[in-house]
Amino acid sequence: MKAALIVKPKGELKETVENAVKILESKGITPLLEKETVERLILNRESCSISDMRSMADAVIVLGGDGTLLYASRMFRFLNVPVIGFNLGRLGFIMEHNIEDFEKVINDFINKKLIIKKRMKVDGIILENGENVFEEEALNEIVINKGAPSRMIELSIFINNSFVTRYRADGAIISTPTGSTGYTISAGGPIVHPDLDSIILSPICPHALNIRPIVLPKTSTIDIRIETSNVECYATYDGQIVRPFNSGSILKVQRSSADLNLAISENRNYYSILRDKLGWGGIPC
């Protein structure tokens, strides 16, 4: 068995990575490391390109925070293999396992004791004059926001080719259930259980009391058109990929054809994660 080992791009992680490599090799798993990781941490190991990893990996193991997992999700978008995340970041809400439990989790994976949960993703296509000029996917969310700090933008919203509304705001967030506990919840959106397949559309600071987030079926296609001219706008995918998005352009968002296969523990409790990591449902002192 071969496993792509994707490592957080910052921090002194040489000892952590070397320990993980030794454990994997002792279990008969060949770790595949990115060239950047090998060079940055000065590891005495061979490296692989992402394309080689895609062709060889039977699993993806991620060491880092949520951002590292989002990166791995994008790099291996069409690779239908388990993804096992170990938290090295601060919150690590979607990183299912603690790095201290690395060997135990790997043993559970080998012994088929981990559960594979499908996490839906969304595709965001930017259209200019009807032409597809950019396409990328997101596990958490796609955000439309403005560059100019003092001006709102006007957005027209269409769902399944039907006009829904037009409003002025700082932007809009289109998220998955996985992303509902990220930027969406900060914008007043709902927490949506990740086992549900749906798309959440949330305005960012709308200049209207009657504009509220809405949860849509997974089959929905959402078109958002920028109506405001002379304001720089951007479409941001999972906080990592940024693309200019200007007046008259359309962002078309729909469910991705590929899901993320997230490997989690049998005794995982989503509500305890909400409580422990987000403080949800806490009783005031």
pLDDT given for residue 23 in this prediction = 98
The confidence band for 10, taking pLDDT boundaries of 50, 70 and 90, is confident
195 is catalytic: no
Q: Fold for domain 2-119+259-278?
A: Rossmann fold (3.40.50)
Question: Does the domain at residues 122-255 carry the CATH identifier 2.60.200.30?
Answer: yes
pLDDT value at position 92? 79
Predicted pLDDT of residue 150: 75
Q: Give the tens place of pLDDT for each residue, 91-137.
A: 778 898 999 999 999 999 999 999 999 999 999 999 999 999 999 99
Active-site pick, 52, 66, 195, 197: 66
pLDDT at 175: 98
Which pTM does this prediction carry? 0.93
Check if 2-119+259-278 and 122-255 are the same fold: no
- Mean pLDDT for 44-53 is 92
Average pLDDT over residues 208-224: 96
Q: Which residues pair with 203 in a beta bridge?
A: 172
- Please name the residue ranges forming H helices in the chain: 14-26, 35-40, 50-56, 66-75, 102-110, 183-186, 270-278
* Predicted confidence band of residue 282 (pLDDT cuts 50, 70, 90): low
Q: Which pLDDT score, from 0 to 100, does residue 281 have?
A: 76
Please check the confidence at residue 283 and state whether its pLDDT lies above 70.
no
Bridge-based pairing of strands 2-7 and 59-64 is parallel
Q: Which helix (H) or strand (E) is 124 found in, with range?
A: strand 122-128
Q: What's the pLDDT score for residue 12? A: 86
Q: Which residues of 156-171 are buried (b: 16+ CB within 10 A; e: fewer)?
A: ebbbeeeeeeebbbbb
What tens digit of pLDDT does each residue of 170-203 get? 999 999 999 999 999 999 999 999 999 999 999 9
pLDDT-derived band at 284, boundaries 50, 70, 90: low
pLDDT score of 278:
85
Q: Which residue has the higher pLDDT, 275 or 219?
A: 219
Residue 285 has a pLDDT of 46
Reading the block at residue 71, the tokens are: 């990166």
Query: Residues near 166 by Cβ (< 8 Å), separated by ≥ 6?
Result: 154, 155, 156, 157, 227
* Averaged pLDDT for residues 156-161: 98
Which candidate, 281, 230, 263, 256, places its Cα nearest to that of 60? 263
Domain boundaries, the chain: 2-119+259-278, 122-255
- Cite the annotated binding site for NAD(+) by residue number: 66-67, 140-141, 151, 168, 170, 181-186, 240
